[in-house]
């Protein structure tokens, strides 16, 4: 018998992967959590039926959400990741020597536990008692309200703007992010598909630009997200991410990100430029 797992992007579009084995399913307080082993993408985390990350192509998303902001800031020391329960983003964050503390606030302990068990290569920084990592199971929205002038870089590695992630795409949340950043701080958020989430992207770009002097969108190709092309948005108080890396720090060995790509990922197709006008 053949088993297939489908993410329904809408009632007219889905992305389907053939499943070798279902490794974990559970229902947490917040969402349905599943880990499936697929023929195409290897082991994959699926939340509420939405593909989140897979061992075969996770390097693209995690390198791009971590290294673009971290190489934009000349000396990132205090870093916060909101969400990111699979651990891939914090794994990339702690590779930067300048980073002294990497906090992670993930709402769902079941996601972290399942990823520690079934995605050990992605969650390695959560498994190995890394001295830089401080993991808190809690709501990133609440955490953000309480922080002030604390972080150099904040990375919002969230799921879609439904369920527990909804409040992470609001003006009120961006105000709290602004307050939590130091005077030269910056933040990045995964901001969905330029094909299927155009209204959302327009709204959040306006919200972020109303607070941050520099707001920039960049792109990466993510095979497991419907549409392939995926957006990330940076709000920055001082450094312009699109001019490339700042400071003279060693290049980390990466599979997708590099210094030239850091600049080119901000070069947008016309239909996205139009969207942001």
Smallest distance, Å, CB 271 to ligand SAM? 21
Sign of the Cα pseudo-torsion (14, 87, 85, 157, in order): negative
* 87 interacts with ligand SAM by CB under 6 A: no
- Report DSSP state, residue 168: G
Q: Phi first, then psi: what are they for 9, rounded to 5°? A: -70, -35
* 265 interacts with ligand SAM by CB under 6 A: no
Stretch that binds ligand SAM, among 13-21, 36-44, 146-154, 159-167 (CB under 6 A): 159-167
What residues are labeled active site? 157
Spatial neighbors of 141 by CB under 8 A, at least 6 apart, are 167, 168, 173, 176
Spatial neighbors of 273 by CB under 8 A, at least 6 apart, are none
**101-106: strand order across its sheet:** 133-137, 101-106, 78-83, 151-157, 181-190, 229-236, 214-221
Smallest distance, Å, CB 194 to ligand SAM? 14
Smallest distance, Å, CB 30 to ligand SAM? 6
- Which lies closer to ligand SAM via its Cβ, residue 69 or residue 84? 84
* 157 interacts with ligand SAM by CB under 6 A: yes
* 194 interacts with ligand SAM by CB under 6 A: no
* 111 interacts with ligand SAM by CB under 6 A: yes
* 159 interacts with ligand SAM by CB under 6 A: yes
Known binding-site residues for S-methyl-5'-thioadenosine equal 31, 106, 139-140, 164
> Pick from 44, 158, 231, 234: which binds ligand SAM (CB under 6 A)?
158
- Which lies closer to ligand SAM via its Cβ, residue 90 or residue 181? 90
- Which lies closer to ligand SAM via its Cβ, residue 105 or residue 220? 105
- Residue linked to tokens 């959560």: 126
Are 182 and 151 in contact, with CB atoms under 8 Å apart?
yes
Q: How, if at all, do strands 32-38 and 42-47 pair?
A: antiparallel
Element (H, E) at 189: strand 181-190
Q: SS3 for 54?
A: strand
Smallest distance, Å, CB 266 to ligand SAM? 20
> Pick from 86, 176, 207, 245: which binds ligand SAM (CB under 6 A)?
86
Sign of the Cα pseudo-torsion (222, 58, 163, 6, in order): positive
Paired with 13 in beta bridges are 10
Where does this chain bind ligand SAM (CB under 6 A)?
Answer: 45, 47, 52-53, 61, 82-86, 105-108, 111, 139-141, 157-159, 164-165, 168, 190
């Amino acid at each position: 018998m053949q088993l297939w797992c489908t993410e329904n992007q809408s009632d007219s579009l889905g992305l389907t992967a053939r499943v070798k084995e279902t490794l974990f399913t559970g229902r947490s307080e917040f969402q349905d959590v599943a880990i499936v082993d697929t023929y195409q993408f290897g082991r994959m985390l699926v939340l509420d039926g939405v593909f989140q990350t897979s061992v075969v192509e996770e390097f693209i998303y995690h390198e791009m959400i971590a290294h673009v902001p971290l190489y934009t800031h000349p000396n990132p020391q205090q870093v916060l990741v909101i969400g990111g329960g699979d651990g891939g983003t914090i794994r990339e964050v702690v590779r930067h020597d300048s980073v002294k503390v990497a906090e992670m606030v993930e709402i769902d302990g079941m996601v972290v536990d399942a990823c520690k068990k079934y995605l050990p290569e992605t969650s390695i920084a959560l498994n190995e008692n890394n001295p830089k990592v401080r993991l808190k199971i809690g709501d990133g929205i609440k955490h953000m309200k309480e922080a002030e002038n604390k972080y150099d870089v904040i990375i919002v590695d969230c799921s879609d703007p439904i369920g527990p992630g909804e409040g992470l795409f609001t003006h009120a949340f961006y105000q709290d992010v602004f307050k939590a950043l130091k005077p030269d701080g910056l933040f990045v958020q995964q901001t969905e598909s330029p094909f299927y989430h155009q209204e959302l992207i327009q709204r959040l770009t306006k919200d972020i630009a109303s607070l941050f002097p520099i707001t920039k969108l960049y792109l990466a190709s993510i095979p497991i997200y419907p549409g392939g092309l995926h957006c990330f948005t940076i709000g920055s108080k001082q450094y312009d991410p699109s001019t490339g890396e700042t400071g003279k720090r060693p290049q980390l060995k990466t599979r997708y990100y590099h210094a030239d790509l850091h600049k080119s990922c901000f070069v947008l197709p016309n239909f996205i430029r139009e969207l942001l006008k």
